[in-house]
Chains A and B, each alone.
Chain A
Amino acid sequence: MFRQASRLLARTTTATTWRRSRAFSTDLPATPTEDSTFIESWKKVIPNMDPPKTPSSFMTPRPATPSSIPSKITVNFVLPYASELSTKEVDMVIVPATTGQMGVLPGHVPTIAELKPGILSVHEGNDVTKYFLSSGFAFIHANSVADIIAVEAVPLDCVDPALVQKGLAEFTQRLGTATSDLEKAEAQIGVDVHSALNSALTG
Chain B
Amino acid sequence: MASNAAVPFWRAAGMTYITYSNICANLVRNCLKEPYKTEALAREKVHFSISKWTDGKPEKPNDV
Contact = CB atoms under 8 A, between A and B. Distances in A.
B21 A158 contact: no
Contact of B23 (A98, A186, A194): A186
Nearest to B10: A185
Interface string B1-37: 0000000111011110000111111011111111011
Interface stretch (A60-68, A105-113, A122-130, A159-167): A159-167
B25 A134 contact: yes
Contact of B32 (A81, A160, A194): A160
A152 interface: yes
B45 interface: no
- If over half of B's interface residues share one DSSP class (helix, strand or loop), that class is named, otherwise mixed; here it is helix
A134 B17 CA distance: 13
B43 interface: yes
A135 B31 contact: no
Contact of B22 (A151, A160, A190, A194): A151
Nearest to A182: B13
A167 B31 contact: yes
A186 B36 CA distance: 24
Contact of B25 (A152, A157, A182, A188): A152
12 contacts: A117-B28, A134-B27, A135-B24, A151-B24, A158-B36, A159-B32, A182-B13, A182-B14, A185-B10, A185-B12, A185-B15, A193-B28
Which A-B residue pairs are the 5 nearest by beta carbons? A185-B13, A152-B25, A181-B13, A151-B25, A134-B24
